[in-house]
Structure 1
Amino acid sequence: MKISIIIPTFNNLNYLKLFLNSIKKNSFYTEHEIILHINDGSDGTLEYAKNNKIRFSFSPKNIGLCSSMNKAYSLTTTNYILYAHDDMYFCKNWDYFLISEINSQKNNLFYLSGTNVSTRHGLINFDCGNNIEDFDEKKFEKFCLEDDTPDLQSSHWAPHIIHKELWDKIGGFSEEFNPGDGSDPDFCMKLWNANTRVFKAISKFKVYHFNSKTTRNSKVILNNGTKTFLFKYGFNPRFFRKHYLRGNISIIPYLGTLTNPIKDLNFYFELIKCKLKIFFYKMI
């Protein structure tokens, strides 16, 4: 099984090289296709992609994550679309674990993600280095071998994979969320509306994440994704995670195929709070 790995990147060449090296070194299978969307690329990324014969789409300025994903998607040739950040490092045999899970699914209505490991803000917090200079690859590999965390209830964490048919059905990423804040929960909400009910994080498919180096180290001004999501759906991403995906920003063991939200008192109380927030935004 071949996977298209899409990586939007914005002048982050050193981390991108580390990520691509992890794909080359740690993939069980070898036929996956790498597709970049290069924003700007003046740090040498453009020349690097050309010299290494990596497929890419390009924009001379940063067009945002959502537009980057959609442009790169047009170059894909496989049935499985995986989105990843350029500041990640994939574990050994990541694709073996992921493809085994895909093969166990009854149909193509699934959203599968890796398990994000980081010094902070990960599904699992474990320190293997805060940047590329002090990244302890062997420590991460040892942790991946020894960790017994179960599969988790996924809550719009990258990297994530869906089938091409599902991508086409929902129209990819919503570009009103550029440069990217809120785009992942919106993506999952569109999947939910397309009858996807399997949202699962594969524990053995671990990725080390350096906490969005691109947005932290550049002049990217983030959008108010929470507000955009709120106006689009009538509730905020937190409400969606809790009542629809049954996930959170912490470890929750996988719950199986999801059902519709339980509309109890707490559901309506929190929904009313979201509606009041919309009213507040309209008044200011």
Structure 2
Amino acid sequence: MFSIVIPSWNNLAYLKLCVESIRKHSRFEHEILVHLNDGSDGSLEWVKSQGIKYTQTDKNVGICLSVNHLMAQAKHEWLLYMNDDMVAAPGWDTAFIAATESVNTDLAMFFGTLIQPENGGNDVIIKQDFGGSPADFDEAKFLKSYLDDGRGDKEGGASQPTLVHKKWWAMVGGYSIEFSPGMSSDDDLMMKFWVAGCRNFRIVGGSRFYHFGCKSTGRIKHNLGGRVFVMKWGVTHLEFHRLYLPSLRKPDGGNSPGNPHNFVRGSLLGKIRRLRYTLKSNYPLQDIEAWDALPGRAKWNEGN
């Protein structure tokens, strides 16, 4: 069984549908933990009525802090982070379980396969339209058609839902709060797993989720995640996806001493970007608003 962590920011209708889909379409009974940013839209009363373990802050503290706090309280070994604007399809959990059992290590990252009304040209995402909000979500059509695209597993990285082992989440330090409120925190997490020796990154074709798309991120001022990433690692996040993760498909699986991407090496583009950002007048990297949500500036509550 998994511990499923879900951050939510006044998205009650989405949160209800998300949790309902997990309960309806799971083979096993998983632990669900929710962090409520604010929660003044009725979300707090609802999670209490459902007996869901939750944490709450009086303001939006962002993804990094929300997820880290929930992960620390999870009781199961495998941890799944998903967003409240996602709907789980039947078989999502058995496909993930099969993936974890197919490797001889717990140092792995698994990702669900997303279905969205629009995929923005990203061929990792399946383009199917089952509605733009919970109010017009066509559940019957979704349950009939979510497997129409017959793709299987694919090596590489994606965004949420993300499944990792609790031990390795703790080992790499979870989400890095310098990426608060969260832009590029996923790229950074994958790089940290890479540095820790992870060579098992897989998008699981049978674990599917409908995603309404960016219902919270569209309401916040974004941190400069790409800039933070290159200053930290010496390569751009695009180079990580184009050069590091594809090396998994080489005969050596990304592990031989001769593989130039066996560890992080600063790239020419990375060096140019770092110099440029260092010289920019608006350095340091974060807008001060991104740091207003740190724990010392918000009241934390926990329940159940």
TM score, norm. by length of structure 1: 0.90
Corresponding residue for residue 19 of structure 1? 18
Given the alignment of the two structures, is residue 277 of structure 1 paired with residue 273 of structure 2, yes or no? yes
Task: Provide runs of 4+ in structure 1 moved above 3 Å.
Answer: 253-258, 260-264
The match for 1:109 is 107
Return closer, same or farther for 1:20/1:262 CA change in 2, 3 Å cut-off: same
After TM superposition, give the deviation of residue 273 of structure 1 in Å: 1.9
Counterpart residue type for residue 246 of structure 2: R
Question: Can you give the 5+ residue segments of structure 2 that lack an aligned partner in the other structure?
Answer: 281-304
Question: Which residue number corresponds to residue 178 of structure 2?
Answer: 176
Question: Hey, what's the Cα distance between the residues in 1 that align with 2:48 and 2:59?
Answer: 18
For 2:211 and 2:34, the matched residues in 1 are separated by: 18
Give the 3-state SS of the residue equivalent to 2:277 in structure 1. helix
Q: How many residue pairs were aligned?
A: 272
What secondary structure is seen at the aligned counterpart in 2 of 1:21?
A: helix
Structure 1 segments unaligned to the other structure (5+ residues):
248-252
Map 1:229-244 → 2, pairs under 5 A: 229-244=229-244
Alpha-carbon distance between aligned partners in 2 of 1:126 and 1:156, rounded to the nearest angstrom: 18
In 1, Cα distance between equivalents of 2:42 and 2:148: 38
Amino acid at match of 1:56: Y
1:197 to 188, 196, 199: 199
Q: Secondary structure at the match of 2:130?
A: coil
Task: Kindly indicate whether the alpha-carbon contact (under 8 Å) linking 1:243 and 1:262 is maintained by their aligned counterparts in 2.
Answer: no
> Deviation at 1:49?
0.9
* 1:40-51 correspondence to structure 2 within 5 Å: 40-51=38-49
Q: Which residue of 1 aligns with 2:160?
A: 158
Matches of 1:167 and 1:238 in 2, distance apart? 23
Kindly report which structure 2 residues correspond to 1:78-89, keeping only aligned pairs within 5 A, or say none.
78-89=76-87
Tell me which amino acid in the other structure corresponds to 1:145: L
AA of the residue aligned to 2:28: Y
Over the aligned positions, Cα root-mean-square deviation in angstroms equals 2.3
CA distance in structure 1 between the aligned counterparts of 2:211 and 2:252, rounded to whole angstroms: 27
2:6 corresponds in structure 1 to 7
Q: Aligned residue for 1:57?
A: 55
CA distance in 2, matches of 1:212, 1:202: 21
Identity value in percent: 35
**Which SS does the other structure have where 1:246 is aligned?**
helix
Letter in 2 for 1:207: F
For residues 149 and 257 of structure 1, the distance between their equivalents in structure 2, rounded to whole angstroms, comes to 25
Deviates most, 225-234 or 140-149: 140-149
Distance 1:77 1:221 in 2: 33
> Which residue of 69, 72, 80 maps to 1:71?
69
Check 1:73–1:263 CA distance in 2 against 1; reply closer, same or farther (3 A cut).
closer
* Whole-angstrom CA distance in 2 between matches of 1:56 and 1:65: 15
Residue 151 of structure 1 contacts residue 254 of structure 1 at CA under 8 Å; is this kept in 2? no
